[in-house]
Amino acid sequence: MTELRRSRTRPLTGIERTAQRPLISVIVAVVGAMAVVALGFAMKATQADQGLVAALNKSHSGAWGAFSSFVYKAIEPLPAVAITLVIAGIVWAASRSLRIAILFGLTVAFTWLPVAAVKILVDRPRPDASVLAHPFSPLQTDGSFPSGHTAYIVALAIAFWFLLRDTRYAWVPIVLGIVATAVIGLAVVSDGLHFPTDVLGSIVWALTTAAAVRWLIVDVIASRMHRRAVR
């Protein structure tokens, strides 16, 4: 009865829809995370895609070079957090629900931020700057795998899809997400800061973990907090 009254006043958004098979989402997330870590260690041992980085880095000049460098700096962790807060504010204004805005922001954050732990665990060195035509400055010394920039963009696109999946605009975050991921992936590789497999690892990470993250945040934590609040 409570849900019926709620639906009459404000339809549930896709991000609030209860997961039908949460166990499957959790299993997919665990398997996906294990696969990403395994890929990271395998590529750290071989550095087999160094040649691809060197080839793409040759294009890092002119307008594309300036754009790709700007992209890297624009979505580093602190700017990305600020961007997420701004977007969450827009979601709040559009949905007229602070709850939805918070759920959106947390879904992005907790899909994206754990890649920092994977970076530390795998500790894959960045591409060898000595073989690059246009090495990036300043030199980045943290782990290369996976790409945090790519993980952020994919997490953002998925969160938007969750938000819009019950509407006729559900295709928009899919199309824009694919385009943005391709552009960001090419940018960070041509910058000479990431390997193609760093980008691949981030895509797999976000795609396999996002559903479990949304379930944990919305169906478990937020629902329990709501039940306690109404007692």
| Interval 6-62: pLDDT, tens | 434 444 478 998 888 999 999 999 999 999 999 999 999 998 999 999 999 999 999
**pLDDT value of position 2:** 43
Domain that holds residue 135: 21-230
Is 224 within the bounds of a domain?
Answer: yes
Residue 162 near residue 127, CB atoms below 8 Å: no
User: Domain for residue 52, yes or no?
Assistant: yes
8 located within any domain: no
Query: What pLDDT shows up at residue 226?
Result: 61
Helix, coil or strand: residue 20: coil
Residue 1 lies in a domain: no
In which residue ranges of the chain is pLDDT below 70? Answer: 1-12, 226-231
Within-domain flag for 162: yes
**Is residue 15 a part of any domain in this protein?**
no
pLDDT at 227: 65
Q: Report the number of distinct structural domains present in the chain.
A: 1
Q: Can you give the pLDDT at residue 11?
A: 46
**Neighbouring C-beta atoms of residue 152, cutoff 10 Å:** 26
9 in a domain, yes or no? no
Question: Does residue 61 belong to any structural domain of this protein?
Answer: yes
Quickly count: other Cβ atoms within 10 Å of residue 4's Cβ: 7
